[in-house]
Amino acid sequence: MSLRRVRLSAAMSLDGFIATEDGGYDWIPMDPDIDFGALFAGYDTILMGRKSYEDAQRAGHLAMYGAMRILVCSRTLRPEEHPAVTVIRDPAPTVHALRAAPGKDLWLFGGGELLRSCLDRDLVDELELAIVPVLLGAGRPLLPGGALHTRLRLLGHRLYPRTGTLLCRYAVERASHGAAG
């Protein structure tokens, strides 16, 4: 039995932002050539940070994830106030347990602070970035914080000509994680 993977799948502006400063993502085109059904079919669990959860909840988008289990990493949310999701404080023990259990991959949905925390703790296996040809100039970065050195290996890419979106898939190279350049 192979271990379940933790895969970030996110849209990002050309200048590295995954949302506007207020959490908006209306700049992301809904490209008709992207097979969202196939994307969703690869996961049974979503791992998201508090801000991403609150943004999705406010926009009414939580229902679109269907039967997927939603885990929200937060030190401030009270689990009893969010019964539709599982609130966890520390992603590491949960991710390790889920990796060893049968099931589909885990979708690291966002945001950047959670990605940073998971990369720092060697919890991420793949990054799948839909690079949208837009410059936001400011917003929530894909990867906030200071220096980080994580090598990635290209697994594949696809251009969506209608919107100019470039989808790139990378494996996180564990042997080099944390190494200096």
Is 180 a residue whose pLDDT tops 50? no
Determine the residue type at 74.
S
**pLDDT confidence of residue 175:** 54
Distances (CA, A) of 16 to 7, 97, 113, 128, 139: 18, 31, 14, 14, 9
Averaged pLDDT of the chain: 90
Q: What is the largest CA-CA distance in the chain?
A: 45
> What are the domain boundaries of the chain?
6-12+34-176
Mean pLDDT of 6-21: 95
Q: What is the CATH number of domain 6-12+34-176?
A: 3.40.430.10
Please count the other Cβ atoms lying within 10 Å of the Cβ belonging to residue 28: 18
- The H or E element that residue 37 is part of is helix 36-41
**pLDDT confidence of residue 176:** 42
pLDDT digits (tens, 9 = 90+) for 127-162: 999 999 999 999 999 999 876 789 999 999 999 999
Q: CB-hemisphere CA count at 13 Å for 133?
A: 9
Mean pLDDT of 116-126: 94
CA atoms of 117 and 90, how far apart (whole Å): 10
With b for 16 or more beta-carbon neighbours within 10 A and e for fewer, the 140-162 pattern comes to bbbeeeeeeebeeeeeeeeebee
Please identify which residue in the block is written with the tokens 């919890």. 123
pLDDT digits (tens, 9 = 90+) for 76-93: 999 999 999 999 999 999
The torsion of the CA quartet 156, 166, 171, 139, rounded to 10 degrees, works out to 180
**pLDDT confidence of residue 1:** 57
